[in-house]
C-alpha cells in the first residue's frame, strides 16, 4: 500500500487553521483527561455538535476530535500521579507507581517521564497504525470469543507478578474484583445478577464509581491519618526536567508497554484499561527484581502510560479499516464521520485520503504538540501538591462526587462510591492492595462473557478453546509467563550452585 494518503494528510493537518484546531483540542483534551469527572467520550460528545454547527469541514472535525482523544490520554496521568485519583480508565495503573513517586517529592520527574513515555507510546501506536493497519485488521477479525477468553487467561497469568509478600490478600483482592464485575445484567442470558431490583445497578458497577471509591475516598481517609500524626504528604515537587539516566532506565518498559498497548488497542473487544493493566503486570514480571514496583519505580510508571497512549492509536485500526469502533471514544468518532455522510472502511483510504491522512497526520502532530504543551503543564500542575491539605482534599472529594454523579445523574452512584471507598479503606488498612481488585474487575467481565460465548458456539465442547492458531499461541505465552520466570530463576540458581 502506498502512503500517498499520508502526505495528503500532512498537507491538510499542517494548514495553520488545522494546526490551531489541533492545539486547542490537545489543550482541552489534557484538561478533560485530568478531571476524573469527564472522560474523552463525554468531551468529544460535547464538542462534536459545536464543531458541526461551526461548519468545520470533516477533516478539521476529525483533527479536533483526535486531538482531544490523544490529549485526554496524556491528561489522565496527571491526577493519577499527583492525587492518586485516576483521571480516566487508562490511567489507573499509572497511579500505582506514579503516586508513590509524587509522595517522595518527585512529582515533577514522574510527570516528565510519563509524559515522555506517553509520547513514545503515542508515536509507536501511530506508526503501527500507518504501516500495519490493514494487516492488523485481519488479525483482529481472527479474535472470536475463544481467543478473547484465552487472551484473558494470558492476562491473568501475568498477574502472578502481582503476588507480593502476602499472596492470599492479593488473590482475595482479585476474587473480590471478579465478584464486583458480576453485578448487573448478565450479557448472555439477560438475567439480572446481584442488582437488588435497583435499575441503577442494572448495568453493573460503573468502573468510574469503583475506581474513584477505591482510590480517592480511601486515599482521603488515609491522608487524614498521616496528616493527624504529623507526617505531611509532600511539600515539594522536585525537578521538572528529565534526567538522561531515567530515560535510559525506562526505555525498555516504555517500548514493551507501547507494543502491548497497540496490540490490545487493535482488538475491538478490549480497551485502555486492559492494555495498561496487562502491560503493567507484564513489566513487573519482567523487570521487578528488587520489589520496587508499587513503591515508586519509574518503569512501573512508564509502561502503563506508554500502553494507554499507543492503545488509543491502535483503537483507530478497527474503526478506519473495518468500520467497527475499537473503543467507546472511537464509537463516537465513527458517529461523527457518519454525520458527514462518510462511510468508514478500507475504501476510505483511497476515496477520502484527506480525512484518513489528515486524521493520522494529526495524531503525529498532536503527540508532538502534547509533548511540548506538557513541559509548561508539568510546572503548573505539580504546584497543586503545594496546596495545603485542607484545600486539596476537599477539592479531590468534589471532583470525585461530580465524576460519579455525572455517570448516571444519580445520588445512588455517589452512595455506592462512598460504600466502596469505606471498604477500600478497611482493606488498605488490613494490608490489601487495590490493584488486584481493579484487575479482577477489568479482566473478569471480558473473561466470563467470552468463555460462555465460546461454549455457546461449540455447544459445550471445550475443544473450541484450543482450536485456532491464535489460541494456541496465547496458551503457550500464558504458560510461559506463568512459570517462565520461576523456571529461569531455578535454572540460574542451579547454575550458580554448580559454579
Partner 1 sequence: MDAPQRPLAGSLSNRLAALALLVFSLIYGYAGSGIEYAFSSDPLGPRVFPVLLAAILALLSLIYLFVPGRSEAWPQGMVLMRCIALPALVLIAALLFEPIGFAGAMFVMTAGVGRIFGASWRASLIGGLVQAALWYLVFGYLLDVYLPVGELFAASRRG
Partner 2 sequence: MNATFTKFALAGLVSALLAGGAVALPQKTECLAGAKPGGGFDVTCRLAANSLLAAKLIEQPMVVTYMEGGVGAIAYNHVVGKRAADPSLIVAASTGSALLLAQGKFGSHDENAVRWIGALGADYGVIVVSADSPYKTLKELSDAYGANPASFPIGGGGAVGSQDWMKAALIAKGAGQDPKKMRYVALEGGGAVLTSLEGGHIKIGAGDASEMVKHHLAGKVRILAVMSPERLTGDLANIPTTREQGYDFDWVIWRGYYTGAKVSDADYAAWTDAFGKLVQTPEFKAELAARGLFPYTLIGPAFDAKVKSDVLRFKTLAKEAGL
Q: Cell triple for residue 155?
A: 492476562
Give, as ranges, the residues between 406 and 445 that touch partner 2 (CB under 8 A). 406-410
Which one of residues 26, 35, 44, 363 is an interface residue with partner 2 (CB under 8 A)? 44
Q: How far is the CB of 19 from partner 2 (least distance, A)?
A: 27
CA–CA separation, 244 and 165 (whole Å):
33
CB 58 within 8 Å of CB 5: no
- Binding mask 401-440 toward partner 1 (x if CB under 8 A, else -) reads xx--xx--x-x--xx--x--xx--xx--xxx---------
Residue 185's DSSP bridge partners are: 192
Contacting residues for 49 by C-beta, under 8 A, at least 6 apart: none
Which one of residues 1, 3, 20, 188 is an interface residue with partner 2 (CB under 8 A)? 188
> Which partner, partner 2, partner 1, none, binds residue 477 by CB below 5 to 8 Å per kind?
none
- Residue 138's alpha-carbon distances to 12, 132, 266, 320, 327, in angstroms, are 29, 10, 10, 13, 18
> Which partner, partner 2, partner 1, none, binds residue 422 by CB below 5 to 8 Å per kind?
partner 1
CA–CA separation, 354 and 361 (whole Å):
10
* Under rule CB under 8 A, residue 190 binds partner 2: yes
Residue 114's CB: how many other CB atoms inside 10 A?
32
CA–CA separation, 84 and 100 (whole Å):
9
* Under rule CB under 8 A, residue 223 binds partner 2: no
Alpha-carbon torsion, ordered 407, 91, 70, 268, to 10 deg: -80
Q: How far is the CB of 393 from partner 1 (least distance, A)?
A: 6
List alpha helices for 84-191, DSSP H: 92-103, 107-141, 145-158, 167-181
Which one of residues 71, 76, 122, 144 is an interface residue with partner 2 (CB under 8 A)? 144
User: CA 322, 17, 75: angle at the middle one, nearest 5?
Assistant: 65
Question: CB under 8 A: which stretch of 226-234, 282-290, 428-436, 454-462 binds partner 2?
Answer: 454-462
Q: Determine the size of the site formed for partner 1 (CB under 8 A).
A: 64
| Beta-carbon-side half-sphere exposure of residue 37 (alpha carbons within 13 Å) | 12
- Binding mask 114-153 toward partner 1 (x if CB under 8 A, else -) reads ----------------------------------------
- Which one-letter DSSP state was computed for residue 386? G
**Contact residues: partner 1, CB under 8 A:** 35, 37-38, 46, 165-166, 168-169, 171-172, 175-176, 178-179, 182, 186, 188-194, 217, 220-221, 224-225, 227-229, 388-391, 393-395, 397-398, 401-402, 405-406, 409, 411, 414-415, 418, 421-422, 425-426, 429-431, 448, 451-453, 455-456, 459-460
**Contact residues: partner 2, CB under 8 A:** 38, 41-42, 44-46, 48-49, 53, 140-146, 185-190, 197, 199-200, 202-203, 268-269, 318, 322-325, 328, 331-332, 334-335, 338-339, 341, 343, 345-347, 406-410, 449, 453, 456-457, 459
Amino acid at each position: 500500500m502506498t502512503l500517498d494518503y499520508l502526505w495528503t494528510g500532512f498537507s491538510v493537518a499542517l494548514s495553520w487553521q488545522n494546526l490551531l484546531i489541533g492545539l486547542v483540542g490537545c489543550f482541552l483534551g489534557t484538561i478533560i483527561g485530568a478531571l476524573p469527572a469527564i472522560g474523552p467520550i463525554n468531551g468529544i460528545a460535547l464538542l462534536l455538535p459545536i464543531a458541526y454547527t461551526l461548519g468545520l469541514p470533516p477533516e478539521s472535525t476529525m483533527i479536533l476530535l483526535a486531538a482531544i482523544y490523544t490529549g485526554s490520554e496524556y491528561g489522565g496521568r496527571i491526577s493519577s500521579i499527583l492525587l492518586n485519583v485516576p483521571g480516566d480508565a487508562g490511567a489507573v495503573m499509572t497511579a500505582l507507581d506514579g503516586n508513590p513517586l509524587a509522595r517522595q517529592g518527585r512529582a515533577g520527574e514522574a510527570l516528565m517521564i510519563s509524559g515522555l513515555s506517553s509520547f513514545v507510546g503515542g508515536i509507536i501506536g501511530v506508526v503501527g497504525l500507518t504501516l500495519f493497519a490493514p494487516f492488523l485488521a485481519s488479525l483482529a477479525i481472527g479474535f472470536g470469543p475463544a481467543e478473547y477468553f484465552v487472551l484473558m487467561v494470558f492476562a491473568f497469568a501475568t498477574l502472578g507478578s502481582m503476588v507480593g509478600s502476602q499472596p492470599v490478600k492479593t488473590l482475595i483482592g482479585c476474587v473480590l474484583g471478579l465478584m464486583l464485575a458480576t453485578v448487573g445484567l448478565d450479557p448472555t442470558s439477560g438475567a439480572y445478577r446481584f442488582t437488588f431490583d435497583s435499575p441503577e445497578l442494572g448495568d453493573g458497577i460503573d468502573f468510574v464509581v469503583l475506581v474513584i471509591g477505591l482510590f480517592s475516598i480511601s486515599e482521603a481517609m488515609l491522608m487524614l491519618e498521616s496528616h493527624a500524626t504529623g507526617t505531611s504528604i509532600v511539600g515539594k515537587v522536585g525537578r521538572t526536567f528529565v534526567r538522561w539516566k531515567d530515560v535510559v532506565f525506562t526505555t525498555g518498559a516504555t517500548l514493551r508497554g507501547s507494543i502491548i498497548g497497540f496490540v490490545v488497542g487493535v482488538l475491538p473487544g478490549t480497551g485502555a484499561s486492559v492494555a495498561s493493566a496487562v502491560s503493567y503486570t507484564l513489566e513487573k514480571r519482567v523487570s521487578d527484581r528488587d520489589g520496587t514496583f508499587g513503591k515508586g519505580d519509574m518503569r512501573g510508571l512508564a509502561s502503563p502510560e506508554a500502553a494507554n497512549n499507543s492503545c488509543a492509536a491502535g483503537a483507530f485500526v478497527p474503526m478506519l479499516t473495518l468500520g467497527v469502533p475499537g473503543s467507546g471514544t472511537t464509537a463516537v468518532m465513527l458517529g461523527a464521520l457518519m454525520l458527514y455522510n462518510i462511510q468508514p472502511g478500507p475504501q476510505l483510504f483511497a476515496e477520502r485520503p484527506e480525512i484518513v491522512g489528515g486524521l493520522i497526520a494529526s495524531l503525529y502532530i498532536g503527540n508532538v504538540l502534547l509533548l511540548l504543551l506538557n513541559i509548561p503543564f508539568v510546572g503548573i500542575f505539580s504546584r497543586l501538591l503545594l496546596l495545603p491539605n485542607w484545600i486539596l482534599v476537599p477539592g479531590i472529594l468534589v471532583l470525585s462526587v461530580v465524576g460519579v454523579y455525572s455517570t448516571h445523574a444519580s445520588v445512588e452512584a455517589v452512595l455506592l462510591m462512598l460504600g466502596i471507598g469505606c471498604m477500600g479503606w478497611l482493606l488498605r488498612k488490613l494490608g490489601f492492595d487495590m490493584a488486584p481488585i481493579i484487575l479482577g474487575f477489568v479482566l473478569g467481565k471480558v473473561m466470563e462473557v467470552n468463555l460462555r460465548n465460546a461454549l455457546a458456539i461449540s455447544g459445550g465442547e471445550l475443544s473450541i478453546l484450543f482450536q485456532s492458531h491464535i489460541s494456541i499461541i496465547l496458551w503457550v505465552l500464558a504458560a510461559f509467563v506463568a512459570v517462565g520466570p520461576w523456571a529461569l530463576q531455578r535454572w540460574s540458581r542451579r547454575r550458580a550452585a554448580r559454579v
